[in-house]
Chain A
């Protein structure tokens, strides 16, 4: 049973480019979460999605960041016009039908974004 799959694992973008990070939840999971970990910082909640719905985006920066979880396909975190401060590890997590707590969500291996 495959875990949470994220790709790309590593991504390098120049300032001003766009970054797209993809996340496929565990089989049978319909809830997806994105977290960001800046260097030397703790993970910070960004957004919680169910299929075709954004449930909570209270942690998303107001500009340049967007997330979606379409009916078909993976969840996508999109960062437009990247800046150096966007360099971070972006972790996706998923949980089964009920919204997960810390012992029922599963993290992917992360996508490491470097902006040069």
Chain B
């Protein structure tokens, strides 16, 4: 089983749509959870941290279910500029600095 698994997509959605991404992780000792965004041939950039209580940042909502080892990201009112690959990232192991990345889910928002 891969450490962090994501549906690779692509998700092709029209502008204004709501889209949800899911991610599962295998290490129950994982401590911190994040969603990153990566544009084509660019560096990954932090989108938001994910907490058990759930957190929202504008049109983006992230949720963590520790019991199911499951993380989600919801994007409302999709914009063309949201087109990117969304990376589920987990920090685990002896050093919290060591990030484990999923392969990413590709999103294309269509006019």
Residues of chain A having any CB pair with chain B under 8 Å: 31, 33, 35, 40-45, 48, 55-56, 58-59, 89, 91, 95, 99-103, 105, 107-110, 112
Are B44's CB and A91's CB within 8 A?
yes
A-chain residues with CB within 8 Å of residue B97 when the two chains form the complex: 31, 33, 48, 56, 95, 99-101, 105
Residues of chain B having any CB pair with chain A under 8 Å: 4, 32-34, 36, 41-46, 49, 87, 89, 91, 95-104
A-chain residues with CB within 8 Å of residue B98 when the two chains form the complex: 45, 48, 56, 58-59
Q: Which of A48, A107, A110, A112 counts the most B-chain CB atoms under 10 A from its CB?
A: A107
- Interface majority SS on B: helix, strand, loop or mixed? strand
- Which of B34, B41, B91 meets A112, CB within 8 Å? B41
Are B95's CB and A107's CB within 8 A?
no
